[in-house]
Chains A and B, each alone.
Chain A
Amino acid sequence: MNNPPDTAPIERETEHYAPQGHDVSKHVRGYLIVGGMLLFFTALTVFLSYVNFGTEKANVAVAVVVATIKAGLVAYIFMHLSAEKKLIYRILIFTGIFVLGLFWLTYLSWYDPIVR
Chain B
Amino acid sequence: MEIPYTVTARPDTGLWNAKVGIWLFLASEVMLFGGLFSAYIFLRLDAQPGYWPHGLLNVPVGTFNTAILIVSSVTVVLAWAALKMRQFVRYKVYMALTILCGIVFLVVKLGYEWPQKYDHFGAYIKPSALEKYEKYLGNKHLLAEGLAPRLEITGHLHNREALHDPNIKDYEVALDPVYTDPTNPQMDRPHFLYVPPTDKIGVIEKADVERATMFIPTHNTYFASYFTITGLHGLHVLAGVLVFIYMWLPASTRLYRQNPEHLANRVEVAGLFWHFVDLVWIFVFPLFYLL
A residues 51-87 in Cβ contact with B at 8 Å:
52, 56, 59-60, 63-64, 66-67, 70-71, 74-75, 78-79, 85-87
Tell me the dominant secondary structure on chain B's binding face. helix
Residue of B nearest to A46 (CB): B63
Q: Shortest distance in angstroms between B8's beta carbon and chain A's nearest beta carbon?
A: 4
Whether A88 contacts B31 by the Cβ 8 Å rule is no
Interface size class of A (residues with CB under 8 A): 35 or more
Residues in A neighbouring B278, C-beta threshold 8 A: 74, 78
Q: How far is the CA of A14 from the CA of B5 in the complex (A)?
A: 10
Check A24/B85 contact, CB under 8 A, given A67-B286, A91-B27. yes
Which one of B10, B59, B279, B291 lies within 8 Å of A71 (CB-CB)?
A: B279
Q: How far is the CA of A102 from the CA of B41 in the complex (A)?
A: 12
Which one of B6, B19, B31 lies within 8 Å of A102 (CB-CB)?
A: B31
Check A16/B27 contact, CB under 8 A, given A42-B66, A106-B38. no
Whether B291 contacts A63 by the Cβ 8 Å rule is yes
Residue of B nearest to A70 (CB): B282
Instruction: List B residues at the A interface (Cβ < 8 Å).
Output: 1-2, 4-8, 10-15, 19-20, 23-24, 27, 30-31, 34-35, 38-39, 41-42, 45-46, 59, 63, 66-67, 70-71, 73-74, 77-78, 81, 84-86, 189, 192, 258-259, 261-262, 271-272, 275-276, 278-279, 282-283, 285-287, 290-291
Instruction: List A residues at the B interface (Cβ < 8 Å).
Output: 1, 3, 6-10, 13-14, 16-17, 19-21, 24-25, 27-28, 31-32, 34-35, 38-39, 42-43, 45-46, 49-50, 52, 56, 59-60, 63-64, 66-67, 70-71, 74-75, 78-79, 85-88, 91-92, 94-95, 98-99, 102-103, 105-106, 109-110
